Structure 1
Amino acid sequence: MNITSAGIGSGLDLEGIITAYIDAEAIPQEIRLQNKEERLTTELSGVGQFKSALSNFESVLKKLNSPEDFNKQISESSSEDVAVTTNGYASNGSFSIEVEQLAQGSRRQSTAFAASTDTVGTGTLTFTAGADSFDVDIDGADDLSAIRDKINEQSSNFGVTANIINVQSGSYLVFNSSATGDANNLTISSSDVSLDAISTNTTQSANDVAKSARAYVDGNLVEQDTNEFKNIIEDVTFTAQAVNMGNPAVISISQDEENGSTLINEFVDAYNALRGTLDALGNAENGALAFDANVRQVKSQLNTIVTDTVSGLTGGNKSLSDIGITIDKTGLLEINPIGIGTMKSGTEKLEDALKFNLQEVGEIFASSNGVTSKLTTLIDSYNGSDGTLTIRNTALSKQVSGIADEYTALETKLRDYEDRLRSQFSYLDSTVASYNATGTWLASTLASMQPKNS
């Protein structure tokens, strides 16, 4: 900058003139940038709220993405002796369960050895329980401890654990099998007689034989290899945990209708919250995304999905309106408690559907063409990694960040403009100063030439 105090020589208010020129150049552009920044920041905030509202709604949809989410049942047992669960489709009812015998695995014990460091022989041990078997190769140098470790570490071992017990009568190799059931008693054979002491000559007491679980369901005997009795009562699994003959446990199954009602009410509330956010964002007077095309599109698509019939369903309930969920005049979902004439209210329709047609309710939401699936796909098209709002958010963020560069460029431009003005007005200042000096000299000269009064 050539001159910092323009007008000193000429006496003119050149600083004021320069300031006026710079303001005339700067103010309109600064206002334009401020308006642009405010518009972009408001839009970016609106898009963020838009994405967040969709994400919040999607978090609720995840609770409704399988028909089984609605098929929650209450299964109870009157005693800790028997535990019970269902797959969600069991019929309501109660049953008396008496456990006569718990399932157990088997145990075998080798002949006595002097110590755990004793060796046995060479060959292959074969362990068998029912249809399962595995082999272990034994070397002549393997003592009882090494044999134990080989058995326990065998990759194909189906559940045999080898241990050594050291007692007064000697050291014994003990084998415990986790395979339960009458047909799964552990047997051990060998390829060489040198291994008979830990195979064919092992002993087993009557209490160490593998056993099946035995229980009575309403007085009817049932047996299973394990303590888990699955589908003896259709769609129910009960597990025997203790013998309770003469003191039966009563298990009861009932439908958890409240679960379905809770899920649906949560869905309705979440949908309406989303619509409320979209209405606020698109408000013509003060919405952050007033008149926005994406807001209008999503509102229209949401309305279509929740009012359409779900294709591919064969039951009597094929849409949300069939189970009492409708759209009111403001576009919000409702479960209307008031019926019209002889028609059932929305509340009554939903209660009937949850009580008598729960599977159909689940299919309306969670079938492949269901409401949840379509809504999830819609949200992903906007919020996914390449979704409309994701791309838009990235572009807006870049534009907002770029405004700082525009301010920097404007400042540089204005400084250059000021330098040019000062250069131009410097010449004017010096020229006027020169004229002023000449004028002063002429005035002084003429004054000195005036005749003096006598």
Structure 2
Amino acid sequence: MASISSLGVGSGLDIRSLVDQLVAAERAPRENRINSQQQRFETRLSALGQVKSALSDFRGTVRDLSSIDAFQKMKATSSDSDALSVSAESGAETGRYDIGVNRLADAQGAASSAFAARSSAVGSGTLTFRFGEVTTDGTGAVTGFAENTERGAVDIEIPGSANTVEDVRDAVNAAEIGVRASIVNDGSGERLVFSSSETGAANGFVVEAADDDGNNTDNAGLSRLAFNTAATNLEQTRAAQDAELTVDGLTITRASNTVDDLFEGVTLTLNGTTETAARVEISENRAAAKKQIQGFVDAYNGLQETLGKLTSYDAETDQAGPLNGDALVRSIQSGLRSTLGQTLGELEGTGLRSLADLGITTTRSGALEVDDARLDAALDENFDAVGALFAPTGLTGNADNVAYESSRSATQAGEYGVNVSALATRGTLTGGDISGSFPLEITDANDGLRFEIDGVQTAALNLTQGSYADGDALAAEIQSRINGDSNLRDAGISVSVAFNGTGLEITSSRYGSESAVELVSADAAGDFGLTVGDRAQGTDVQGTIGGREAEGFGRFLTGLEGPAEGLKLEITGEATGDRGSVIFSTGLMGELDRQISSFIDSDGTLSSSTESLNNRLEGLADDRQRLEDRMDRIERRYTEQFSAMDALVAELNQTSTFLSQQLSGLPGAGGSGGGGGLG
């Protein structure tokens, strides 16, 4: 028999089509079920993604209100901002003032005589810059100098190998002492110009020269740069002066044109003088706080709108949102509403314990609405408590000289009494009696000192040699040298030195146990009433918060245990004993933030649901592959069965044809023909 090379050839049937139709009939119910599940999972996954995105956006708004800074913004205005601009930081002192600017602060400048070239030699030796108030006469000669002991004297070495005009400029600038050196050609030659980087009369400077040519005052060698009461060899090009203001009729001066110590938290910038006083007003920025609160309400309503669409059901069209009846979304909505409806008991005495007290209420649809009149009244009458309703903070209105600094997550809401048993002190090294030593001669035998201040050691300090008439002059020189040390300046450390009538007192500017003053070495410590190794250390504040012992560090007192754990307060003032009480509120936003995080963080319930859906989608991909494998097997079986049928039909057809051919060849079969030879 001939072989069958194609389906249906033997039978004449479209067997390929029959097999495809049978396979499709087998596939349809199972594939439809997988497709339906995939669509349902993907729709839910997309909807949960929208929920997560909406919650994430809302959390951003919540976090904006989770810091008390959002409710401590201040409004600062000036009626003449061109001459006097003003800004205010959180917690600034409020008030209204009439301020006139009579004079701007300026910085000192001084110039040398002309040199032939920048490479001209100046001279070698040591330049010493001292800062303070410089007095000159009509000829420009220095007639007086009152040293600013808050700033240190600085020595700059000018070696013989690098003593040109350019070298001196570079050495002064490299020392970074608060004086900028430059070279200016004014037509007569190259002049060294020294300019103070700080304005104010107390930030002027004198220049002393220890000239290697042996003469420190003549107009030759390095001493041609001298500018002091003994030698005025520089020309003062600009005198240092303080700014002068009139504040509500009171005349005051400041060293800088940026004044930030006149009113707490307020910075005045002096740009020019005024003809008439400018009206300056500092007030709580209630408009900014209200805008923040309204933004929160709008964000919450936007979230509710998104959730409402996803969970909706239209009875008329019988159409439901993809998350209609979803238990997770219901839990989210319920949790948020519960948190926003909380009452903060710790704020009982403030009259603002809940959002409803601000005029923020929930409508029947679940949205928030604001009663503007009630909110405005709350902001006007109890601005601080409004912030406490939203963000963690401490209200210190019932405490004396106590300021809220910070808290930790462990700090619980409540009212805590504050009791101070010991105030913080500063390290003060007090010397012995040297009142009978004056005038005191400082020479190369007793000019060397080295201190350690707050754990940072100075370089070797050398006092200016000469005769000191009294203890005040000696104290001023020692303070100047200590504060001029680069190690201390880099660390932001300074001291004050005073003569108490009998001996020296060297006091760190820092408070607490890390405040310390030690004399490390001295050429002749006894001349100053000191002993090498003498050390004085400050103490930390001590006391209790909420009746429990607190940890002191400098002037900060922090709760160690119990409900007040982590509550950090700054203690100022001079009194010990009961200081009143601090109300600490955790605010609503912290809890709301934690709640949202429990939904959308990587280990949150939304993330778990999303992960579960993705796993189920992966499972459907496996189901789809198993279906494909099964359909391949079914297709092969049908193909084999129809192939066998086709071959059998072909064989039968061939047999039928053969038999027909054989039968037709038999005698007498078929045919009309011819005729017989039988008569």
Matched, 1:316 2:351: yes
2:169 aligns with one of 142, 148, 154: 148
Matched, 1:183 2:202: yes
Q: Which moved more, 1:70-79 or 1:349-358?
A: 70-79
Residues 111 and 237, structure 2, Cα contact 8 Å, conserved in 1: no
Q: What are the residue-to-residue correspondences of 1:317-332 with 2, within 5 Å?
A: 317-332=352-367
SS in structure 2 of the partner of residue 183 of structure 1: helix
Give the drift of 1:205: 6.2
Give the drift of 1:162: 0.6
Give the drift of 1:396: 4.3
Residues 6 and 15, structure 1, Cα contact 8 Å, conserved in 2: yes
SS in structure 1 of the partner of residue 198 of structure 2: coil
Query: 1:338 is matched with which residue?
Result: none
1:351 aligns with one of 376, 398, 411: 376
Q: What are the residue-to-residue correspondences of 1:19-34 with 2, within 5 Å?
A: 19-34=20-35
Matched, 1:55 2:56: yes
Q: Which moved more, 1:235-244 or 1:401-410?
A: 401-410
Query: 2:119 is matched with which residue?
Result: 117
SS in structure 1 of the partner of residue 156 of structure 2: strand
Give the drift of 1:58: 2.7
SS in structure 2 of the partner of residue 308 of structure 1: coil
Cα distance in 1 for partners of 2:65, 2:117 equals 63
Matched, 1:249 2:278: yes
Residues 120 and 140, structure 1, Cα contact 8 Å, conserved in 2: no
Q: Which moved more, 1:137-146 or 1:2-11?
A: 2-11
Cα distance in 2 for partners of 1:387, 1:126 equals 66
Give the drift of 1:387: 4.0
Query: 2:145 is matched with which residue?
Result: none
* TM-score in terms of structure 2 length: 0.58
Q: Which moved more, 1:312-321 or 1:79-88?
A: 312-321
Query: 2:336 is matched with which residue?
Result: 302
Query: 1:340 is matched with which residue?
Result: none
In structure 2, the CA distance between the partners of 1:297 and 1:203, relative to structure 1 (3 Å rule), is farther
Matched, 1:136 2:156: yes
Give the drift of 1:307: 0.8
Q: What are the residue-to-residue correspondences of 1:423-438 with 2, within 5 Å?
A: 423-438=640-655
In structure 2, the CA distance between the partners of 1:444 and 1:208, relative to structure 1 (3 Å rule), is closer
SS in structure 2 of the partner of residue 243 of structure 1: coil
In structure 2, the CA distance between the partners of 1:225 and 1:3, relative to structure 1 (3 Å rule), is farther
In structure 2, the CA distance between the partners of 1:163 and 1:19, relative to structure 1 (3 Å rule), is closer
Give the drift of 1:133: 4.3
SS in structure 2 of the partner of residue 186 of structure 1: strand
* TM-score in terms of structure 1 length: 0.84
SS in structure 1 of the partner of residue 350 of structure 2: coil
Structure possessing the higher relative contact order (Cα contacts under 8 Å, 6 or more residues apart): 1
Cα distance in 1 for partners of 2:653, 2:68 equals 97
In structure 2, the CA distance between the partners of 1:190 and 1:434, relative to structure 1 (3 Å rule), is same
Residues 244 and 253, structure 2, Cα contact 8 Å, conserved in 1: yes
Residues 19 and 638, structure 2, Cα contact 8 Å, conserved in 1: yes
Give the drift of 1:22: 0.8
Give the drift of 1:435: 4.0
Give the drift of 1:375: 2.5
1:291 aligns with one of 301, 319, 325: 325
Letter in 2 for 1:151: V
In structure 2, the CA distance between the partners of 1:137 and 1:302, relative to structure 1 (3 Å rule), is same
Query: 1:333 is matched with which residue?
Result: 368
Letter in 2 for 1:322: D
Identity, % of aligned positions: 35
Query: 2:185 is matched with which residue?
Result: 166
Cα distance in 1 for partners of 2:359, 2:5 equals 80
Residues 125 and 138, structure 1, Cα contact 8 Å, conserved in 2: yes
Give the drift of 1:315: 2.9
Residues 37 and 400, structure 1, Cα contact 8 Å, conserved in 2: yes
SS in structure 1 of the partner of residue 320 of structure 2: coil
Q: Deviations over 1:148-170 (max 9, x none)?
A: 1222233xx14311122334554
Cα distance in 1 for partners of 2:353, 2:194 equals 60
Matched, 1:199 2:226: yes
RMSD: 3.4
Cα distance in 2 for partners of 1:4, 1:319 equals 87
Q: Which moved more, 1:75-84 or 1:59-68?
A: 59-68
Query: 2:310 is matched with which residue?
Result: 281
Stretches of structure 1 lacking an aligned partner (at least 5 in a row): 336-345
Cα distance in 2 for partners of 1:322, 1:231 equals 37
Give the drift of 1:48: 1.8
In structure 2, the CA distance between the partners of 1:444 and 1:45, relative to structure 1 (3 Å rule), is same
Query: 2:251 is matched with which residue?
Result: 221
Higher percent of residues as helix: 1
Matched, 1:81 2:76: no
Give the drift of 1:361: 1.2
Cα distance in 2 for partners of 1:172, 1:202 equals 16
Q: Which moved more, 1:429-438 or 1:353-362?
A: 429-438
Give the drift of 1:183: 2.0
Cα distance in 1 for partners of 2:5, 2:377 equals 87
Cα distance in 1 for partners of 2:597, 2:391 equals 17
Cα distance in 1 for partners of 2:157, 2:616 equals 73
Residues 108 and 203, structure 1, Cα contact 8 Å, conserved in 2: no
Residues 108 and 236, structure 2, Cα contact 8 Å, conserved in 1: no
Stretches of structure 2 lacking an aligned partner (at least 5 in a row): 132-147, 314-318, 394-585
Letter in 2 for 1:370: G
In structure 2, the CA distance between the partners of 1:356 and 1:231, relative to structure 1 (3 Å rule), is farther
SS in structure 2 of the partner of residue 232 of structure 1: coil
SS in structure 1 of the partner of residue 385 of structure 2: helix
Residues 109 and 236, structure 2, Cα contact 8 Å, conserved in 1: no
Cα distance in 2 for partners of 1:250, 1:396 equals 64
Cα distance in 1 for partners of 2:237, 2:173 equals 23
Q: What are the residue-to-residue correspondences of 1:411-426 with 2, within 5 Å?
A: 411-426=628-643
1:106 aligns with one of 100, 105, 108: 108
Q: Deviations over 1:276-323 (max 9, x none)?
A: 211222336522223333312211221121111246546331221221
In structure 2, the CA distance between the partners of 1:398 and 1:126, relative to structure 1 (3 Å rule), is farther
SS in structure 2 of the partner of residue 214 of structure 1: strand
Q: Deviations over 1:328-385 (max 9, x none)?
A: 33322222xxxxxxxxxx4432121111112211221122622222223333333334
Size of the aligned set, in residue pairs, is: 440
Residues 108 and 186, structure 1, Cα contact 8 Å, conserved in 2: no
Letter in 1 for 2:356: S
Cα distance in 1 for partners of 2:605, 2:130 equals 62
Residues 282 and 290, structure 1, Cα contact 8 Å, conserved in 2: yes
Residues 110 and 199, structure 1, Cα contact 8 Å, conserved in 2: no
Cα distance in 1 for partners of 2:261, 2:377 equals 28
Residues 225 and 233, structure 2, Cα contact 8 Å, conserved in 1: no
Give the drift of 1:406: 5.5
In structure 2, the CA distance between the partners of 1:119 and 1:358, relative to structure 1 (3 Å rule), is same
